[in-house]
Amino acid sequence: MRREKPGMTLRDDIVRAGLRLLRSSGRYCDQLLRGPEPPTATLERLLAHAARSVPYYRERLSLDGDLLAQFKRLPPLTKDQIRVHFEDLKSEDLGRRRWVTNSSGGSTGRPITLVQDRDAYDWRRATVHYYFRRFLDADDVMDPKVVLWGSERDIFRQRDPKRRLYDWATRTTFLNSFRMSDARMADYVAAIDAARPAYVQGYAGSLYELARFATAKGLGIRPPRFVQSAAEALRPHMREVVERAFGCRAYDFYGSREVGPIAGEASDGKLYVFDFHNHVEIVDARGEPVPPGGEGRVLVTTLHTYSMPLLRYDIGDTAVRSRQPGALFELPTLDRVTGRVTDHFVTATGELVHGEYLTHLFYFQDWLKEFQVLQTEVDRVEIWFVPVPGTALRAPARAALEAKIRLVLGERCRIAWRPVDEVPRTPQGKLLYTRSLVSRKPEWDRA
């Protein structure tokens, strides 16, 4: 096998041979690095297909009119509507397409099933590669990396020979974050030092917990070039702890299982939206765009999925639209992703309280190892918590926390404390610090 460069290893040859097989994603990545086509043209082509070939949209879009104007008037697509209209959302030319089934993560509810083009997955890979190349000056395939990820199915990852070969070929050290005991986290710190990665990638919550542990135990971590946080919102306090423990900059990456990459953080701190891959809107409760600086729900239109187009899909997240455009790239920007809709608590008067208010209350509590604030009813909250061994929740601290919770949720709010050995994770292995089971639906999703 011919070496492309002096000093290349067998591993390099395997990886590059594999990359050559990914012709579509490679072609799309080259296209992105040269400059993608205007996103409006991509969107118009998708809308024409939806109006012509997708029964659900044929009733709502007309090829005789201005498709972009009609698109802006479409009611957002919800998960419940996808379940009800699943067959009508499929393209009538599905039999001639290369497609696979996919699902949402289901971290806050029942997952939905989707039909998506294989071509769309090539675009996903190309977009991720573009982000690493252009934003971070890194190679997501060839650079040595540590991945701190976790789900029930990932527990068996290292038993899969193909998965192990892929990890070896791509210089990936996989650390499962589904269960992170003190002993395991100590091993993870040692594994990061041994791997000498260019970067560490992981769930925001998992990176934060590992950083807290390393700091508390006085364990130094060999600094990588950067840390990439994904799958959850990286809140300011979490970022501070992670960057201090890892000794490098942390970059937030926003995406989801059902729509792929949405936005990535650059060195100026802004999240740049990959508008060549997904069309993104930030809207208010009526489905109208929020003003610059405003917070609203995130709607995503998948630009390269023709088998089952998702137009103005309500992904269940909230974000803040930037007041000023970014200076580094000619892409739309977000100031930050503020979290899942279920991070917001609902008061008896119908007002929303952002979960970040509640998480801040539990910072710097020396008796607390981990926690989750769960709203089960409008006037009832449960606090699941794991105390630090040898400590206890004392009455003054409890009274102070309850008073601050009732300050925003109402004096009649009932608060139950649930000491546990471990706060339950989602099926994906995430620790949600706040979660509400009480829904205040936007106007477009009300009966």
Range of the domain at 436: 343-445
The torsion angle over the Cα atoms of residues 300, 301, 302 and 304, rounded to 10 degrees, is: -150
Coil, helix or strand at residue 91: coil
Mean local confidence (pLDDT), 162-190: 83
Please give the tally of structural domains in the chain: 1
- Is residue 66's pLDDT more than 70? yes
Q: Is 70 exceeded by the pLDDT of residue 132? A: yes
For residue 397, being part of any structural domain is answered with: yes
pTM here is: 0.77
Q: What is the pLDDT of residues 414-442, one digit of tens each?
A: 999 999 998 887 665 667 788 888 876 66
The band of 28, judged by pLDDT with boundaries at 50, 70 and 90, is low
pLDDT band for position 50 (50/70/90)? very high
Residue whose pair of structure tokens reads 């919800």 in the numeric block: 78
Question: Does some domain include residue 428?
Answer: yes
CA distance 346 to 160: 44
Report yes or no on 306 lying in a domain: no
Tokens at residue 235, please? 């809140």
Query: What is d(CA 121, CA 376) in angstroms, rounded to the nearest whole number?
Result: 37
Write out the H or E segment, with its range, that includes residue 263. Answer: strand 260-265
Does the residue 361 lie in any domain? yes
pLDDT band of 446, cuts 50, 70, 90: low
Residue 202 pLDDT exceeds 80: yes
- Which residue in 209, 205, 221, 191 sits closest to 355, CA to CA? 205
Residue at 432 is within a domain: yes
Strand residue runs (E) in 266-388:
271-273, 278-283, 295-302, 313-321, 333-340, 344-346, 352-354, 368-377, 380-387
In a domain, 425, yes or no: yes
The CATH code of the domain that includes 416 is: 3.30.300.30
In a domain, 10, yes or no: no
Instruction: Judge whether 219 lies within some domain.
Output: no
3-state secondary structure of 152: coil
